[in-house]
Amino acid sequence: MLSAALPGHKPRGRLTPVWVMPLVMVCALMSALVLPVFARSAATLLAGQWPEAGQALAVASNSVLGVIAVGLVWHFNLGRSISRRRIFVLGAVLAAIAGFSPPLLEDDFYRYLWDAYQWHTQASPYTYSPSDFFGDEQLAPRWQEILTGINNPHLKTLYGPVLQYLFYLAYWLAPGELWAWQLVLWLIYLGGLLLILKTCADKNGPLCYALHPLILQEAIASAHPDLLVGLLLLVALLCWQKRMPVVLGAVLGVAIATKVSALVVAPLFCCVPPSQWACRVNAEQSSRHSILSWLCLTSMAVMLMLVLFYGPVVWHTARSGASASELDSLLVFGHQWRFNPLSYRVLELFLPAAWARLLCALVLLFGCLGLITLMLALAHRYRRLPVVFLLLLLLFLSPVVNPWYWLWLLPLACYLARPWVVLVAVFAPVSYINSTVLAQINSQYLASTELPFLVPWWVTLLQLMAFAWLLLSEWRWFASGSSDN
C-alpha cells in the first residue's frame, strides 16, 4: 500500500477492495448450498404441482451465484491472495455440500448403478440391455426401482471399461446407492484439484476449479463422470509438455477407454511432438525421424492400454455371442441422438439430417488434420497445443451438446488460465431450457410441441455467438503461442 502511494510508482496489479473476497466466498458457499436445499425442500413444498421446479430453481441459482464468484476471481486476480491449502479445503467442502443434492433434471445415474449390478451378476455390462430384465421377479425391489428409471433401456451401455470399473468400485462400497458413486466422483474431483494446484503457477485457475458451479452441479450433484476425461486430458497435456511419449500414450489410452470423445484430440497428441523433442532423442536426428519416433511411441502405448482394457470385455462377450463392447449403442448415439445442437441445427435447415451429420464430421476431421499439418510445418512458431480449441470445435459441431460435456475441457481451461472458457462454461446448463423440462415445471412455453427436449432458437443463437467468440479467442491464443504452455 505504501509503495502504491509513492509518486511515479506503478502498483502491481489492481488493488482489491476488502469486500471482494468475502463476497466470492459467500457466493461460492451459496452456489453449493442451493443445490441440495432447493432441490429437496422446494421440490417437497411444490410436490404434486411442479415436481421439477425445485431442481430447476437449484440449477438457475447455482449458475447465477457461480458466475459472480468466477467473474470476480478473474477480474481481481484473487488467486494471489489465498493459499493453495485454503483452495483445496474450499473445494473439498463445496463439493461435499453439493454431494447432498439429488441429481438435477437428470436420470443417467440409474444406468451407472445398473451397469455395476450387471458387472457383479453377469461379469460384463455389455452382454444384455436393461429391457431384457423387464418382468424379472427375482430382482430385488431396489434394483426394480433402478431398472425402471433407466432411459433408453433397449440399448446396452455405451460407457467404456474404465468407467465400468469405477461403477463397480461404487457397487463394492454400497450396492445400488448413489452416494457411493458420488463419493468416488468426489475423490476424483479432489485428485484433479490437487493436480492443478501442484502444476499451475497462476492460482486463479485452481480457485475457479474449486468453486466452479458446473463442476459442483454436473460432476458431483448429478454424478456425471465426464470430469475424469478432462483430468486425463490434462495429465496428457502435462506429459506432452514434459516430453514423455510412453506415459502420454498410456494416459490417452485410459482416456479413450473412459469415453471415446478423447479420440478427437488423441491424433493431435500423437502426431505433434513438443519442441526440443528431436534434441532430446538425438541432436543430429532429422525432424521427420523425430516425428516418427514420437508417433510410434505414443501410438504403441495407446494401443497397449486399449488392449488391456478392452481385451477382457471382447473375450467375455465373444463367449456369450453378444457384441464386443459399447459399439452398438455408440452407433445409435452417433446416427440418431440429437440434443441442443449448435451449428448442426443450422445445417439441418438446408440439408437432410444424415448429410448434416456427415458434413459436421468432415469439418471436424479436416480441422484436426489441418491443425496437425500446420503445427508440423511451423513447429518453430506454434508451440502451444490447441486441445481446448479442438474440444470447443467438437462441441460446436456435435448434434448432441449436453451441459456436462464442458467438463471435458474445463480442467484444461483452468490449468491454462483461459478465463473466457471458464466463465462461459458456467452457462452450459442453459440447455435445460427445453420443451421437456419446461413442461415438467408446468410452463406453457413449448408445452404443446411434439418434439421432446427441444431447445428454443434464442438459446441456440446465444450459444452460437458464445462459441464463435471462444473459438476466435482460443485461435488467437494458439497463434500467439510461446514455449511456456
- Residues 74-85 have pLDDT tens digits of 999 999 889 999
Q: Cα 150 vs. chain centroid, distance in angstroms?
A: 21
Residue 258 clears pLDDT 50, i.e. is over it? yes
Q: Report, as an integer, the average pLDDT of 363-372.
A: 93
pLDDT at 289 over 50: yes
pLDDT tier at 386, thresholds 50, 70, 90: very high
Residue 186 and residue 219 in contact, taking contact as beta carbons nearer than 8 Å: no
At 290 the pLDDT is: 81
Among 224-233, 358-367, 377-386, name the one with the lowest average pLDDT: 377-386
Q: Which of 29, 21, 9 is nearest to 203 (CA)?
A: 21
What is the rounded end-to-end Cα distance, in angstroms, of the chain?
Answer: 33
Q: Between 323 and 463, name the one with better pLDDT.
A: 463
How many Cβ atoms are within 10 Å of 423's Cβ, its own excluded?
21
DSSP state of 322: S
Predicted TM-score of the model (pTM): 0.91
DSSP symbols for 318-369: HHHTS-SSTHHHHHHHHHH--BS-SHHHHHHTTS-HHHHHHHHHHHHHHHHH
Are 230 and 411 contacting, i.e. CB atoms less than 8 angstroms apart? Answer: yes
Q: Cβ contacts of residue 451 below 8 Å, gap of 6+?
A: 435
- Is the pLDDT reported for residue 6 higher than 90? no
pLDDT of residue 268: 94
The predicted structure's pLDDT at residue 345: 94
**What is the rounded CA–CA span in Å between residue 377 and residue 463?**
33
Asked if the model's pLDDT at residue 443 lies above 60, the reply is no
Amino acid, single-letter form, for residue 413: A
pLDDT at 337 over 50: yes
Cα–Cα dist 129/150, whole Å: 11
pLDDT of residue 106: 87
pLDDT reading at 336 higher than 90: no
Confidence class for position 275, pLDDT limits 50, 70, 90: confident
Cα angle at 204 between 203 and 206, to 5 degrees? 65
Per the prediction, the chain carries an average pLDDT of: 86
Percent pLDDT > 90 in the chain is 61
Output the pLDDT for position 125.
84
The grid cell for 351 is 440439408
Q: What is the pLDDT of residues 399-434, one digit of tens each?
A: 999 999 999 999 999 999 999 999 999 999 999 988
Cα–Cα distance for residue pair 478/483, rounded to 1 Å: 11
pLDDT one-digit tens code per residue, 88-129: 999 999 999 999 998 988 889 999 999 999 988 887 888 888
Average the pLDDT over each of 247-251, 319-323, 343-347 and give the range with the smallest value: 319-323
Give pLDDT, residue 57. 84
- The rounded percent of the chain whose pLDDT value lies above 70 is 85
Judged against a pLDDT cut of 80, whether residue 7 lies above it is answered with no
**Are the C-beta atoms of 68 and 20 separated by less than 8 Å?**
no
In which band, very low, low, confident or very high, does the pLDDT at 376 lie, cut at 50, 70 and 90? Answer: confident
- With CA atoms as reference, report the closest residue to 103 among 201, 17, 185: 185
The closest of 184, 198, 268 to 227, measured between CA atoms, is: 184
User: Which span out of 14-23, 373-382, 448-457 was modeled with the highest average pLDDT?
Assistant: 14-23
Residue 150 has pLDDT above 60, yes or no: yes
When pLDDT is averaged across residues 296-309 and rounded to a whole number, the result is: 95
